[in-house]
Amino acid sequence: MAEPFHCDVNSSLFMGYLGNCMLNAADFHSNERGIGVTYLNTIKKTWVISRLAIELNRMPKSYEDFYLETWTDRILRFFSSRNYAITDNDNNVYGYAKSIWAMINTETRQPVDLLQVRDSIITKYVEADYNCPIDKPSRVIMSDKAKYICTIDTHYSDLDLNGHVNSIRYIDHVLDLFNLDWHRSHTIKRFEIAYVVESHYGDKLNFYSEDIVPGETCIKITKTELNTGKDVEVCRCKLRYINN
Amino acid sequence: MAEPFHCDVNSSLFMGYLGNCMLNAADFHSNERGIGVTYLNTIKKTWVISRLAIELNRMPKSYEDFYLETWTDRILRFFSSRNYAITDNDNNVYGYAKSIWAMINTETRQPVDLLQVRDSIITKYVEADYNCPIDKPSRVIMSDKAKYICTIDTHYSDLDLNGHVNSIRYIDHVLDLFNLDWHRSHTIKRFEIAYVVESHYGDKLNFYSEDIVPGETCIKITKTELNTGKDVEVCRCKLRYINN
């Protein structure tokens, strides 16, 4: 259920909450198939999310039930594609999501060939024909005209169990760039995010925005590294929205 | 279950997540008894939380199940006392919480006599003998030596469905005042918070800290009001913690 204190000022489930439900679902689904982080940590490997696109007919409202279904529809050597469907009690669709994941070696941070893990066990769980009718996460293209918006510090509450800034937390921070009037008068139809590198506690996050066409805004996040002072791209987002 | 992406860098459930579970439980429990906000909104009344104390033996770790039980143990004319027990599958206790709630008229913001609502129906649901063996939320006493720490803006993600800064969100912000090393080397045993007035989108929140005795820190939050520029106390917290 979209419990009321996980909902926003419009009584809609927070997208960040939904996003963390998706990460949790991926975790359970892969662990139950023997290729989740519980096993991978024993062989010094882990999953990292590379891209995510969430597309919504509408967001669940407070007290509405929702179901989150996930499946893998495609495996390449270095990438796995995971889909999501968000539905209600009557199987009406709230929305879909698509995500791309890579497996890395936790010591070298290098990509791992998925087909080399547990005798390609992952290929047994591919459901290619189960429909997820939204566009794949695309490249988010921005010009050099993106406008600097603000810089924020990273805090304890930004971190996940790995000590990285939680992948979904960027969504919260991006949505916080838009003011309350905007949130009251707009509905987000699609949110996509392409991850470049992880950020850590102490990094400063810098936000740059570019309006592409009416109803579409791209946001680039860079980090100023605590130790080096270097400015490095962390991720890029593209939001598509409508006026209510 | 303490799902992994609701857990912090120590693999412990975020206290803010647990706190919102408590608000949700209070909402369901009171709605099921006909004195929740679903009914109260129809007569222009609502519940507001006045005090909260959470005391923990330990926080649930990632993948651990936890149960949240809530009951009302005392009704005064203008206050209701609600308890919580947090337990595991074997009924071992993670911790307890106590909260104090007032009912207000949503137009006048004045307190409402609980015994005047629905023929004192609330008194039917008092379970005075069910044990909640922790100290009540106390007055948080601070001197004028509290040290100014920082000021933060309020954003969309801070707001609940009523358009106020979510009562639990202050806990997140207070825990973000402590750095990562602190969180890795300390465990919070008790967190209490006394609410004074609500804050809103656009308010600036100012944090002041005072170490009372070793292992105890008080934090006062004030708001600089958007329209008037006035500095008004919002809430006070007291944390008790141990070195790991």
pLDDT digits (tens, 9 = 90+) for B127-178: 999 999 999 998 899 998 999 999 999 999 999 999 999 999 999 999 999 9
Eight-class DSSP state of B95: E
pLDDT at A149: 98
Tell me which chain A residue has its CA closest to the CA of residue B177.
A155
Tell me which chain B residue has its CA closest to the CA of residue A4.
B24
Chain B residues lying within 8 Å of A9, measured CB to CB: 156, 159-163, 201
Burial of B32 (0-12, 13-18, 19+ CB in 10 A): exposed
Quote the minimal CA–CA distance from A187 to chain B in Å.
14
**pLDDT tens, residue by residue, A161-216:** 999 999 999 999 999 999 999 999 999 999 999 999 999 999 999 999 999 899 99
Q: Chain A 126-155, CB below 8 Å of chain B: which residues? A: 155
Which residue from B106, B138, B132 is spatially nearest to B40, judged by alpha carbons? B106
Q: Which residues contact B126 (CB under 8 A, 6 or more apart)?
A: B72, B73, B74, B75
Q: Chain B 202-241, CB below 8 Å of chain A: which residues? A: 202
Chain B residues lying within 8 Å of A176, measured CB to CB: 155-157
Neighbouring C-alpha atoms within 13 Å toward the C-beta of A100:
17
B86, B21 in Cβ contact below 8 A? no
Q: Cα–chain-centroid distance for residue A4?
A: 22
Residue of A11, A62, A180 with shortest CB distance to B156:
A180
**pLDDT tens, residue by residue, B192-211:** 999 999 999 999 999 999 99
Eight-class DSSP state of A9: T
Cα A229 from Cα A221, distance rounded (Å):
15
Q: What angle do CA A240, A47, A22 make, to 5 degrees?
A: 45
pLDDT above 80: residue B226: no
Neighbouring C-alpha atoms within 13 Å toward the C-beta of B173:
29
Model confidence at B70, in pLDDT bands (50, 70, 90)?
very high
Tell me which chain A residue has its CA closest to the CA of residue B200.
A180
Q: Average pLDDT of each block of 10 consecutive residues along chain A (244 residues)?
A: 98 98 98 96 96 98 98 96 97 97 96 94 94 94 94 97 96 98 98 96 96 96 87 97 96
Percentage above 70 pLDDT, chain B: 100
Answer whether B175 sits within 8 Å of A157, measured CB to CB: yes
Percentage above 90 pLDDT, chain B: 95
pLDDT at A228: 84
Answer whether A156 sits within 8 Å of B179, measured CB to CB: yes
Which residue from A87, A48, A88 is spatially nearest to A70, judged by alpha carbons? A87
Kindly report the average pLDDT of chain B as a whole number: 96
Q: What is the mean pLDDT of residues B186-196?
A: 98
Which residue from A68, A73, A71, A66 is spatially nearest to A30, judged by alpha carbons? A71
Tokens of A66: 């929702």
B209, B177 in Cβ contact below 8 A? yes
Model confidence at B20, in pLDDT bands (50, 70, 90)?
very high
In A39-146 the beta strands, taken as DSSP E runs, fall at 45-56, 67-75, 80-87, 93-105
pLDDT at B203: 93
Residue of B4, B156, B178 with shortest CB distance to A8:
B156
Q: Chain A 40-79, CB below 8 Å of chain B: which residues? A: 62
Tokens 């920082």 label which residue?
B150
| H-run or E-run covering B98 | strand B93-105
pLDDT at B15: 98
Tokens of B151: 């000021």
Answer whether A156 sits within 8 Å of B62, measured CB to CB: no
Cα A87 from Cα A84, distance rounded (Å):
10
pLDDT at A229: 83
Chain B residues lying within 8 Å of A14, measured CB to CB: 157
